[in-house]
Amino acid sequence: MFVKSRDIKKAKLMMYLIPSAQKRTEWLKKNKVFFSMGENCYYHTKDIPAEPYLLSLHDNVRVAANVRFITHDMIGVMVNKIDGFKQKYGRMKYYIGSIEVYENVMIGADSTIMYDVKIGPNAIVAAGSVVTKDVPEGTIVGGNPAKVIGKFEDFVIKRNKKTEQRPEKTDGIDKVIEYFWKNQSEE
């Protein structure tokens, strides 16, 4: 596990040197960068937490682009520099906390997950969310701060119905372009 400062710096550098998200995910798992990383995970973001040993990802977790896992804050460092505060209240400790993401979770792009949070299982964090509290099993959360906005199962049913007729990338680019742009004139 990566606990030494030089190892964490190496991991952060590797996130930018490995261009493929799938290859980054494989590298993170192989090198045991996080406390744990389950099977069938996908880690698209290039950011890793300052304390990667405080992040646990269970099976089938999807982390989209630009997601940040915040495992600490620096308030104690700032407060300890204020004249008289340390003497009056005592030294404030550097605050760290863990993040645990249970199985079958999707974390949308540009989300921030704060310390002392557990997510899921079977949950979705909408893109752009700031998660400051636990995310209950089987829910969808969104916003800043993130709040429950739906149920996982309802989303799956609705999405399946909505995409019944849509092509997938594996159907070929021509079918995808035709589906989305068939009524557009060519320029």
Place of tokens 């505060």: 85
Helix (H, G, I), strand (E, B) or coil at 16: helix
Whether the pLDDT of residue 53 is over 60: the answer is: yes
Domain ranges, residue 31:
5-151
Specify if 167 maps to a domain: no
Specify if 177 maps to a domain: no
Specify if 179 maps to a domain: no
100 strand-pairing partners: 56, 118
Please report the pLDDT score of residue 1 as a whole number: 63
Q: Which two tokens stand for residue 44?
A: 């698209």
DSSP 40: T
Whether the pLDDT of residue 30 is over 60: the answer is: yes
Specify if 109 maps to a domain: yes
Inter-residue long-range contacts of 120-124, CB under 8 Å, 24+ positions, other chains counted = 120/58, 121/58, 122/152, 122/153, 123/152, 124/152, 124/155
DSSP 67: -
Number of H helices, E strands in the chain: 6, 15
129 or 183, which is more confident: 129
Whether the pLDDT of residue 185 is over 70: the answer is: no
Which range, of 24-28, 32-36, 83-87, 154-158, averages the lowest pLDDT?
83-87
Pick the most confident of 68-82, 99-113, 160-174. 99-113
pTM recorded for the entire structure:
0.89
Q: What is the pLDDT of residues 73-91, one digit of tens each?
A: 999 989 999 999 989 999 9
Side-by-side strand order, sheet with 112-113: 68-69, 112-113, 130-131
Within 8 A by CB and 6+ apart from 17, the residues are none
Specify if 108 maps to a domain: yes
**If pLDDT is split at 50, 70 and 90, which confidence band does 2 have?**
low
Q: What is the pLDDT of residues 137-155, one digit of tens each?
A: 999 999 999 999 999 999 9
CATH number for position 11: 2.160.10.10
Specify if 171 maps to a domain: no
Q: Is the dihedral of CA 116, 150, 57, 74 positive or negative?
A: negative
Please report the pLDDT score of residue 3 as a whole number: 63
Specify if 162 maps to a domain: no
Q: What's the CA gap between 29 and 43, in Å, rounded?
A: 10
Specify if 172 maps to a domain: no
Mean pLDDT (the chain) is: 93
| Number of domains within the chain | 1
